Every structure is written in C-alpha cells, then in structure tokens.
Amino acid sequence: MTSPPLRAATIEVIFDRRAIAVRIEALAAEIANADLENLIVISILKGSFIFAADLIRSLHEAGLAPEVDFLFLSSYGKGTASSGTVVVLRDIEIDVAGRSVLLVDDILESGRTLAFAKQLLREKGAERVATCVLLDKPGRRAAAIEADFRGFECPDAFVVGYGMDLAHRYRELPFVGRVAEA
C-alpha cells in the first residue's frame, strides 16, 4: 500500500542555501574555539542528517577531526506536533565515557528530544555534552534546555527542508521553508 499523495503545496523560503552555508561555517568556528577535546559528534536522526553532514565538513575545515555517531530518536511520528514521549529507535555505538560530545539536532522546539538525548549521554558517562541546533524556536519550549550553539532563531511555523520533513516529504530541499497550502 502506498501513501496517499499530499495536496499540492507551496514552500516559502525562510533560510536559503547561502545563508545556511555561511551560518554553518560560523558555527564550526565557534565550536572549534570551544575547547571540546576528544570530540564526538552525535547527530540526532532523522531531521539533522543534512545539517550534521555540512557541519562535520565545516568542523574539518576549522581544524577538528571528531568521531561521528548517530542517535535515532522519535517523538513526532508522521504528525506535525510532538507526542511528548521520546523513544530511542537506534542507540549510539561509540563509548562516550570521559569524552566531549557535540549533540547535533535540526530544531530545538519543545526541548524534550534534546533534553532526553543530553541526559542519555550523561548517563553513558560523557564528560561534557554541548548542543548544536540549526533552528531554535524558544517560544515553544517545554523542557528547561537551551542550545550551546544555534544557527538561527526560527519563526513559529512548521518548517521543512534541509533534512526536516512533513510525513517523510521535503527533506531534500536545499533550504528551510514553511509549507503554505496551495
């Protein structure tokens, strides 16, 4: 059985490809100056995979050589709002005990996912867990967490593109945009 087609939609660009690239270079420089020794970058899947890939390449250009792993968490399913419950679908493989970790996520909204992941890594013995998000929606925070590094403050809209989706669509877009029904 195939998914029903979505109604035609227009995507309004909020952050274009160039603005994202420039900001990621600046983030990499900030992170490189943050004294995160013996660094492991852990990307929270699925939404952050494009941001994490670009950030990791920029970290290399900034002189860092972090190990990389992935944490697959879910709190949205196919909807546009968090369920409030975070589930680990795939855990990390690297031992983080005594290491600095940079936890990378696409968007910090309610904060539940990032807070959950940060606590999970602390429980695994990470010496330091810093957080980096592409987008920050501070008006939607339900958990007491702020990003150590953030790309942009995001308007209060459901966004797609640059790895973020709506029912598994629009991840491939090279920009971040808002869905406007046609």
The residue behind tokens 């493989």 is: 93
Q: What per-residue confidence (pLDDT) applies to 78?
A: 54
Residue 78 falls inside a structural domain: no
Record the tokens describing residue 148, joined without a space. Answer: 């150590």
Q: Are strands 149-153 and 128-136 parallel, antiparallel or unpaired?
A: parallel
Asked if pLDDT for residue 81 goes beyond 80, the answer is no
Domain range enclosing 111: 17-73+83-158
Task: Give the number of domains in the chain.
Answer: 1
**How far apart, in Å, are the Cα atoms of 39 and each of 21, 42, 99, 145?**
22, 10, 7, 21
Which position has the higher pLDDT, 110 or 83?
110
Sheet holding 159-160, edge to edge: 9-15, 176-181, 159-160
> Is residue 14 left, alpha or beta, with left meaning phi > 0 and alpha meaning psi from -120 to 50?
alpha
Residue 172 falls inside a structural domain: no
> Average pLDDT, whole number, for the chain?
91
Residue 104 falls inside a structural domain: yes
Residue 7 falls inside a structural domain: no
Residue 174 falls inside a structural domain: no
Tell me which of 2-11, 59-68, 127-136 is least confident.
2-11
Q: What is the arithmetic mean of pLDDT over 60-78?
A: 89
Q: What per-residue confidence (pLDDT) applies to 3?
A: 52
Residue 29 falls inside a structural domain: yes
- pTM, rounded to two decimals: 0.90
Asked if pLDDT for residue 14 goes beyond 90, the answer is yes
CATH of the domain at 145: 3.40.50.2020
pLDDT tens string 134-150: 999 998 899 999 999 99
